[in-house]
């Protein structure tokens, strides 16, 4: 146990601070005592003034320790306290007023607190029990700091010898301790309130920033130099490739985005970190339905203000499918218009020579059948060549007829039509053509379809063109499905097959005139172009989604209007 000095252990703080007055049986003050009292009052008043606007516990500790060391001429003075909301605070000054770097044994001090030391001030003269690591003093005066009824710390004043210590200095230290306890308690609450306010402000700012990022109509995430994900907005959580934020924060980006080509993705990030330049990349993906999605991906480096080093890379993915499709549609319309003008100008000029060639071939074939050429050795070759001339002439005639059909305006006979009946009629015609083998037809046609203002024959022609292509895409057989349903103030017609599908690189070109994936001689590449023109002239839209080796769905969207 620590040794208590009998001179002070029985004196309470109130007794020590009591000012003796004359009268009432008390003795008069001596001149020396009056000078001491005057110094004490002046010291306490000055310390109170300095602590009045001190709002940080650490500054309270510094000012009290510094003032006391100078006021009582101590060899060292230390202020040490442990506050619940802030933690350990301590500071000290030596006899020269210099800050003591390592002034106390913290473990010994904490043990002193745990052992519940005396609630009043005391003198310690046993060096083995000293709280300060200063061998140049022979006495310590310990004045406990009472915070909310508990001893949370102490002010420790060290003196070189007993002659340097007095009761006046003890009263001064205890008075300063009481003031310091109140001040540090108030300042700790203020500091805790400030920290709480700052923490709440930071949290509010973080939530606001997240809300802003989540509100952006783009997919956004941020990685650091270790390729760890630090930000992941809401649009990265939704969709076919969406992953929840909690599942990705702190993880390696290459692990999370394992579906992407890792080598290419790593090169993109390395370039961004190395060059510090913004890079924009166009990408394509396919959703579960096979529809092509177009993305503009931007890699945006973030720099440190001090070092100018790239610390993070922001990746922003913007869905530009509508824009790309609009650009393609404009380009396609321009091509169609150009081909239409060309076709309108040359079709008649080509048809006349073709008609002459076909007529001559038929006439020669007729004469050959009547044996007008006798039994010539090349008779069979002649008949074969004439047949080829005639068939190829008629094939050219069918192409020019298609061009003429493609180029002409399709006013038609428009009136209110039942789309479901039109689709069934087109499917019936396809069934009678007996095109393809092992083709199973299925129908999913709503009964409550609204009427559409359109030309029934032209819509039927478009459905037949789509169905014919669908059958050709199923050489080994499959399922051909016809659908018709209402959706968002429009009627949707779908023709779906379970065939070979369309490669992604061909999807954007299939509506162009003369583009075909069929073998030479088996398709002109005009069927889908004509179909596209029919639907467009009806104020509708033709779309496609396809998965290779799984099938293709062509969709016709027609507006519902009077």
The answer, yes or no, to whether residue 289 has pLDDT greater than 60, is no
Which among 257, 254, 231, 233 has a CA at the least distance from the CA of 313? 231
**pLDDT interval class at 246 (50, 70, 90):** confident
Residues 6+ apart with CB under 8 A from 110: 82
Which among 529, 555, 562 has a CA at the least distance from the CA of 540? 555
Distance in angstroms (rounded) separating the CA atoms of residues 524 and 498? 23
Better pLDDT: 192 or 43: 43
Over the stretch 131-158, which tens digit does the pLDDT of each residue have? 887 667 889 999 988 887 788 888 989 9
**Of the CATH numbers 3.40.50.2300, 1.20.1600.10, 3.30.450.40, 2.10.109.10, which one belongs to the domain with range 6-193?**
3.30.450.40
The answer, yes or no, to whether residue 43 has pLDDT greater than 80, is yes
Strand order across the beta sheet in which 150-159 lies: 87-94, 76-83, 150-159, 139-147, 122-124
Query: In this predicted structure, which of 9-23, 373-387, 454-468 has the lowest mean pLDDT?
Result: 9-23
Mean model confidence pLDDT for the chain: 78
Q: Which of 71-80, 259-268, 318-327, 342-351 has the highest mean pLDDT?
A: 71-80
CA–CA distances in Å: residue 464 to residues 68, 78, 532:
102, 97, 13
Distance in angstroms (rounded) separating the CA atoms of residues 195 and 185? 15
The answer, yes or no, to whether residue 25 has pLDDT greater than 60, is no
Enumerate the H helices of 216-320 as residue ranges: 253-256, 262-275
The CATH H-level (homologous superfamily) assignment of domain 217-319 is PAS domain (3.30.450.20)
Over the stretch 185-208, which tens digit does the pLDDT of each residue have? 787 777 666 666 667 777 777 777
Return the pLDDT at 287: 62
> What does R_g of the chain's alpha carbons equal in angstroms?
48
* Long-range Cβ pairs for the range 338-343 (8 Å, 24+): 339/403, 339/406, 339/407, 339/513, 339/514, 339/529, 340/406, 340/407, 341/407, 343/400, 343/403, 343/404, 343/406, 343/407
Beta carbons of 221 and 231 less than 8 angstroms apart = yes
Over the stretch 456-485, which tens digit does the pLDDT of each residue have? 888 988 898 899 889 988 988 899 999 999
Better pLDDT: 111 or 173: 173
The answer, yes or no, to whether residue 386 has pLDDT greater than 50, is yes
Query: In this predicted structure, which of 85-94, 180-189, 287-296, 428-437 has the lowest mean pLDDT?
Result: 287-296
Return the pLDDT at 375: 58
Please state the φ and ψ torsions of residue 533, each to the nearest 5 degrees: -65, -40
Tokens 């040490």 appear where? 80
Query: In this predicted structure, which of 111-115, 249-253, 307-311, 431-435 has the lowest mean pLDDT?
Result: 111-115
DSSP 437: S
- Say how far residue 512 (Cα) sits from the centre of its chain: 38
Residues 6+ apart with CB under 8 A from 555: 492, 493, 494, 542, 543, 544, 545
Q: Which of 10-14, 147-151, 240-244, 379-383 has the highest mean pLDDT?
A: 147-151
pLDDT average, residue stretch 244-258: 85
Better pLDDT: 491 or 49: 491
Q: Where are the beta strands (DSSP E) in 183-341?
A: 219-224, 229-232, 279-286, 292-303, 310-319
Both tokens of residue 273?
A: 């970190």
Q: How would you classify residue 113: left for phi > 0, otherwise alpha for psi between -120 and 50, otherwise beta? A: alpha
| First and final C-alpha spacing in the chain | 103
Over the stretch 513-543, which tens digit does the pLDDT of each residue have? 667 766 655 566 677 877 888 888 888 888 8
The answer, yes or no, to whether residue 343 has pLDDT greater than 70, is no
The answer, yes or no, to whether residue 178 has pLDDT greater than 50, is yes
Better pLDDT: 441 or 9: 441
Enumerate the H helices of 276-320 as residue ranges: none
Distance in angstroms (rounded) separating the CA atoms of residues 219 and 233? 7
Handedness of CA 400, 401, 406, 410 (dihedral sign): positive
Return the pLDDT at 534: 84
Return the pLDDT at 32: 54
Q: Which of 48-52, 89-93, 554-558 has the highest mean pLDDT?
A: 554-558
Q: For the stretch 18-44, what's the b/e string if a residue is b when 16 or more beta carbons lie within 10 angstroms of its beta carbon?
A: eeeeeeeeeeeeeeeeeebeeebeebb
Return the pLDDT at 479: 92
pTM of the model as a whole: 0.43
**pLDDT interval class at 336 (50, 70, 90):** low
Over the stretch 51-106, which tens digit does the pLDDT of each residue have? 877 767 888 888 888 888 888 888 888 898 888 777 788 888 888 888 876 555 56
Q: Of how many residues is the chain composed?
A: 562
Residues 6+ apart with CB under 8 A from 57: 81, 83, 86, 89, 184, 187, 188, 191
**Of the CATH numbers 1.20.1250.20, 3.30.565.10, 2.40.50.460, 3.40.50.920, which one belongs to the domain with range 415-559?**
3.30.565.10
Better pLDDT: 357 or 513: 357
Q: What percent of the chain has pLDDT over 90?
A: 10
Return the pLDDT at 361: 80
CA–CA distances in Å: residue 37 to residues 63, 117, 176, 302:
22, 29, 14, 65
């Amino acid at each position: 146990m620590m040794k208590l000095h009998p001179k002070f252990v029985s004196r309470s703080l109130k007794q020590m601070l009591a000012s003796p007055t004359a009268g009432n049986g008390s003795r008069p003050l001596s001149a020396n005592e009056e000078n001491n009292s005057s110094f004490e009052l002046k010291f306490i008043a000055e310390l109170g003034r300095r602590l009045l606007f001190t709002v940080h516990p650490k500054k309270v500790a510094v000012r009290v320790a510094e003032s006391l060391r100078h006021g009582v001429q101590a060899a060292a003075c230390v202020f040490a306290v442990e506050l619940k909301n802030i933690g350990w605070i301590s500071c000290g000054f030596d006899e020269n007023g210099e800050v003591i770097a390592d002034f106390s044994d913290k473990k010994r001090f904490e043990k002193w607190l745990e052992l519940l030391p005396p609630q009043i001030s005391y003198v310690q003269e046993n060096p083995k029990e000293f709280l300060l690591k200063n061998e140049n003093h022979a006495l310590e005066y310990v004045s406990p700091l009472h915070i909310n009824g508990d001893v949370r710390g102490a002010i420790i004043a060290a003196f070189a010898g007993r002659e340097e210590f007095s009761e006046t200095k003890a009263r001064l230290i205890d008075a300063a301790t009481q003031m310091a306890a109140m001040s540090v308690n108030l300042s700790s609450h203020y500091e805790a309130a400030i920290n709480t306010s700052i923490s709440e402000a930071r949290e509010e700012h973080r939530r606001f920033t997240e809300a802003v990022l989540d509100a952006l109509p783009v997919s956004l995430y941020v990685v650091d130099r270790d390729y760890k994900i630090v930000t992941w907005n809401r649009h990265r959580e939704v969709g076919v490739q969406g992953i929840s934020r909690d599942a990705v924060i702190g993880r390696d980006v290459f692990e999370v985005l394992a579906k992407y080509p890792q080598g290419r993705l790593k090169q993109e990030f390395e370039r961004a970190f190395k060059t510090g330049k913004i890079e924009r990349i166009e990408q394509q993906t396919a959703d579960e339905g096979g529809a092509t999605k177009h993305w503009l991906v931007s890699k945006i480096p973030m720099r440190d203000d001090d070092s100018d080093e790239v610390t993070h890379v922001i990746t922003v993915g913007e869905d530009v499918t509508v824009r790309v499709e609009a650009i393609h549609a404009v380009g396609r319309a321009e091509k169609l218009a150009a081909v239409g003008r060309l076709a309108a100008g040359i079709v008649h000029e080509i048809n006349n020579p073709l008609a002459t060639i076909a007529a001559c071939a038929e006439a020669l074939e007729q004469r050959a059948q009547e044996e007008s050429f006798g039994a010539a050795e090349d008779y069979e070759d002649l008949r074969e060549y004439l047949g080829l001339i005639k068939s190829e002439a008629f094939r050219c005639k069918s192409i020019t007829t298609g061009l003429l059909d493609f180029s002409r305006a399709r006013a038609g006979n428009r009136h209110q039509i039942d789309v479901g009946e039109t689709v069934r009629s087109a499917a019936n015609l396809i069934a009678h053509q007996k095109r393809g083998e092992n083709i199973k037809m299925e129908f999913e046609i709503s009964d409550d379809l609204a009427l559409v203002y359109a030309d029934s024959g032209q819509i039927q022609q478009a459905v037949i063109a789509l169905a014919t292509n669908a059958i050709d895409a199923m050489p080994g057989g499959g399922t051909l499905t016809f659908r018709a349903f209402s959706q968002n103030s429009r009627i949707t017609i779908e023709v779906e097959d379970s065939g070979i599908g369309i490669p992604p690189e061909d999807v954007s070109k299939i509506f162009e005139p003369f583009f075909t994936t069929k073998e030479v001689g088996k398709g002109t590449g005009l069927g889908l172009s004509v179909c596209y023109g029919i639907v467009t002239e009806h104020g509708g839209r033709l779309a496609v989604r396809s998965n290779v080796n799984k099938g293709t769905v062509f969709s016709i969207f027609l507006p519902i209007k009077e």
